[in-house]
Amino acid sequence: MDLYEHQARQLFEEYGIVVPRAEITDSSKKAREIARRLGGRVVVKAQVKTGGRGRAGGVKRAADPAATELTARHILGMDIKGHRVRTVMVAEPIDTAEEFYVAYALDRARGGFLAVASAQGGTEIEEVAARRPEAVARVPVDPAEGVTSSKAAEIATAAGLPPQAVDTLVRLWQVLVREDALLVEANPLVRTRQGRIVALDGRITLDGNARFRQARWGTEHTGHDDPLEAAAAARGLTYVKLDGEVGVIGNGAGLVMSTLDMVADHGARPATFLDTGADVGGGACARLMADGLSVVLSDPSVRSVLVNVFGGITVCDTVAEGIVRVLDAVRLTRPLVVRLDGNNAARGRAILDERARPLLEQAPTMDTAASGAAELARQG
């Protein structure tokens, strides 16, 4: 359950983390009024649940209230990676001396949490991590111990953060624990020329399983901004929009996550996480597969689609029927790679062979399916 930036900012402020003065609005005229209250010069930021806003033109400075109105008018209604901008945040600019990156994230492999921090923060943190991995500190956090002042000092030292950041590191951990978060990120966390530590931007993902304890966010904040996410949810599918080009569909979250990793290992980026459900039998699995394939094929960023199914209660021949149902209704314009294994897999493969399409191919293993889908995406 992702929060908007302005909601993350609200939590930061509640926990004593310094943030810029800011207000949100869905009106360009009101943005002008906000800028006047904030002193004239502001930053206008699109409020969408995705990264890359700055590069997409969703974060801009405005020199005065009149310019703020024009800027807000331009940003409102923008489409950023499939997310429609319905509100903007108008925030005071901060005179920064240094930018840092800090995040706490659930580390499922270790059964704990991981602090990730760098003195080279800001919008280019992904490039920093790729080019200079030694510049990004990764410090395991024992959930039982948490982030005490001494642990925060250890993280700050490892990342090269100033001592003034220690208190903020402790408070960010408090946000994660008390708000049932899986991820808390401040990027950038900055030191101003006056020596204050300020969180300019925030990203928080709450644990959906703890939603009953976080009722204050209500339905307004748990809905789906992405129309594809909304369409998938309405059909009982678990769907997450990603930033890549290979649409991935599978039955069971573990299998889908493994498939995402394998696609990445073959040099491509997944565009979707779509789980039709691991324990679905009968006609339901055909319908869910058909619905899932329809959703993924509706995404213009998808260059190839990989369907990876292991049949248990789900039977592969019924999955194949669902795929055929979609292909009978729409013309396939992007390559589709299908790997079927398990219960009734031979029959499922035969059904697809009987209804062959020019852009449909089958793969015998998960590895060859991921490799084929990655290569087809690069060619597309």
Our answer to whether residue 4 is catalytic in this structure is no
Instruction: Let me know if 223 is exposed, middle or buried by CB neighbors in 10 A (0-12, 13-18, 19+).
Output: exposed
**Strand extents, DSSP E, the chain:** 22-25, 42-46, 59-62, 79-80, 83-84, 88-91, 96-107, 112-118, 136-141, 181-192, 197-199, 202-206, 238-241, 246-250, 270-275, 304-311, 336-342, 360-362
AA identity, residue 252:
G
Our answer to whether residue 185 is catalytic in this structure is yes
Q: How many CA atoms lie within 13 A of 97 on its CB side?
A: 9
Query: Locate tokens 């402790």: which residue?
Result: 170
Distance of alpha carbon 43 from alpha carbon 96, whole angstroms: 14
Contacts of 234 (CB under 8 A, 6+ apart): none
Distance of alpha carbon 51 from alpha carbon 78, whole angstroms: 14
AA identity, residue 184:
V
Structure-token pair, residue 142: 């024992």
Query: Which of 179, 185, 229, 245 is an active site residue?
Result: 185
Under 8 Å between Cβ of 28 and 72: yes
Instruction: Let me know if 195 is exposed, middle or buried by CB neighbors in 10 A (0-12, 13-18, 19+).
Output: exposed
3-class secondary-structure state, position 108: coil
Instruction: Let me know if 175 is exposed, middle or buried by CB neighbors in 10 A (0-12, 13-18, 19+).
Output: buried
Query: Which of 4, 101, 104, 239 is an active site residue?
Result: 101
DSSP state of 138: E
Distance of alpha carbon 101 from alpha carbon 198, whole angstroms: 12
Q: Which of 59, 65, 66 is nearest to 85 (CA)?
A: 59
Rounded to 5 degrees, φ, ψ at 266 are -95, 15
Give the active site residues.
101, 185
